[in-house]
């Protein structure tokens, strides 16, 4: 694994966050979706340290029964940040009902899975635009997820600023520990909360293996696993890049 000084990196991250938001005014707010998972928990903790609780708004967005609702509530109560529960159930179901009448496409399993994070992101931008002061939506993806494209384009992959994008899952866990977050939030089994499977079950490998490979391409992990990771990385690079555009002659 690459060297990681958690104190140095966390303090630098907090300062970066403070400087980035204060460029737009010292009352600028951060809007963040709270899922109850490690990434939104760590990101929210960094935001509080950088901006103070009053400049952070956590939005909890259940779609029907939310298995992580108690953890999401634990996080906002622990950090004492302003928060609101905004269910997306009604317009998720309304969208599916509308799509069911479409003639040119089917309502597939992947459509259902990716629809929820896209509706959640639209909800976060609605919350940002509904504030009395300038507000920005904060992305919560980490380097490990980004490397293999484990995110929804224009869903959880979107945002105005990304704070964890350069940190692997292993490093995010260390930041969470350093910031004193409850162990059940930092070390819970990672899951998208959508498919009923853990992240690692869906990916087909452990985050520790992925992080090791990201740090060192000669890492001692199975060659077939390296090929799977490389294939996912190549196929999902478009999620991290600006939209290709033709340049006129």
**pLDDT per residue over 212-234, tens digit each?**
999 998 889 999 999 999 999 99
Q: Which residue has the higher pLDDT, 31 or 3?
A: 31
Pairing of strands 56-60, 83-85: parallel
What percent of the chain is modeled with pLDDT above 70?
97
The band of 143, judged by pLDDT with boundaries at 50, 70 and 90, is very high
Residue 33 lies in a domain: yes
Residue 98 lies in a domain: yes
Number of domains making up the chain: 1
Q: Residue 164 belongs to a domain with what CATH number? A: 3.40.50.620
Count of helix runs (H) and strand runs (E) in the chain: 11, 5
Summary mean pLDDT of the chain = 94
The band of 123, judged by pLDDT with boundaries at 50, 70 and 90, is very high
The overall pTM is greater than 0.85: yes
Residue 248 lies in a domain: no
Question: What is the pLDDT, as a whole number, of residue 192?
Answer: 61
Residue 69 lies in a domain: yes
The band of 195, judged by pLDDT with boundaries at 50, 70 and 90, is low
- Say if CB 138 and CB 215 are below 8 A apart: no
3-class DSSP state for residue 153?
coil
Question: What is the pLDDT, as a whole number, of residue 26?
Answer: 94
Question: What is the pLDDT, as a whole number, of residue 189?
Answer: 75
Residue 135 lies in a domain: yes
Question: What is the pLDDT, as a whole number, of residue 67?
Answer: 81
| pLDDT single digits (tens) 14-72 | 999 999 999 999 999 999 999 999 999 999 999 999 999 999 999 999 998 888 899 99
Question: What is the pLDDT, as a whole number, of residue 1?
Answer: 64
Nearest to 63 by CA among 11, 134, 128, 114: 114
Range of the domain at 122: 6-239
| Cross-sheet strand order for the sheet of 29-33 | 83-85, 56-60, 29-33, 135-139, 161-162
Residue 245 lies in a domain: no
52: left (phi > 0), else alpha (psi -120 to 50), else beta?
A: left
Question: What is the pLDDT, as a whole number, of residue 70?
Answer: 94
Mean pLDDT of 169-193: 89
Residue 74 lies in a domain: yes
Residue 66 lies in a domain: yes
Question: What is the pLDDT, as a whole number, of residue 199?
Answer: 79
Question: What is the pLDDT, as a whole number, of residue 178?
Answer: 98
The yes-or-no verdict on residue 172 having pLDDT over 80 is yes
Question: What is the pLDDT, as a whole number, of residue 84?
Answer: 97
Q: How far is CA 241 from CA 154, 168, 203, in A?
A: 12, 19, 22
Runs of H (alpha helix) within 38-158: 38-51, 69-79, 89-99, 109-129, 143-147
Question: What is the pLDDT, as a whole number, of residue 193?
Answer: 61
């Amino acid at each position: 694994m690459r060297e990681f000084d958690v104190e140095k990196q966390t303090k630098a991250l907090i300062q970066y966050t403070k400087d980035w938001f204060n460029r737009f005014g010292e009352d600028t707010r951060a809007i963040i979706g709270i899922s109850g998972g490690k990434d939104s928990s760590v990101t929210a903790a960094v935001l509080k340290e950088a901006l103070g609780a009053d400049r952070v708004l956590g939005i909890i967005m259940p779609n029907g029964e939310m298995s992580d609702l108690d953890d999401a509530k634990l996080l906002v109560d622990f950090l004492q940040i302003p928060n609101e529960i905004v269910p997306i159930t009604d317009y998720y179901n309304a969208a599916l009902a509308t799509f069911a009448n479409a003639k040119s496409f089917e309502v597939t399993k992947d459509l259902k899975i990716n629809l929820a994070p896209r509706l959640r992101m639209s909800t976060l931008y609605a919350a940002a635009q509904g504030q009395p002061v300038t507000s920005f939506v904060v992305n919560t993806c980490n380097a490990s997820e980004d490397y293999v494209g484990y995110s929804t384009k224009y869903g959880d992959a979107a945002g105005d600023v990304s704070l964890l994008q350069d940190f692997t899952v292993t490093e995010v866990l260390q930041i969470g520990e350093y910031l004193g977050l409850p162990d059940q939030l930092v070390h819970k089994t990672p899951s998208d909360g959508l498919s009923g499977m853990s992240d690692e079950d869906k990916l087909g490998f452990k985050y520790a293996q992925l992080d090791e490979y990201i740090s060192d391409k000669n890492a001692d992990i199975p060659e077939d696993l390296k090929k799977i990771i490389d294939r996912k990385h190549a196929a999902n690079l478009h999620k991290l890049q600006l939209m290709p555009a033709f340049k006129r002659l």
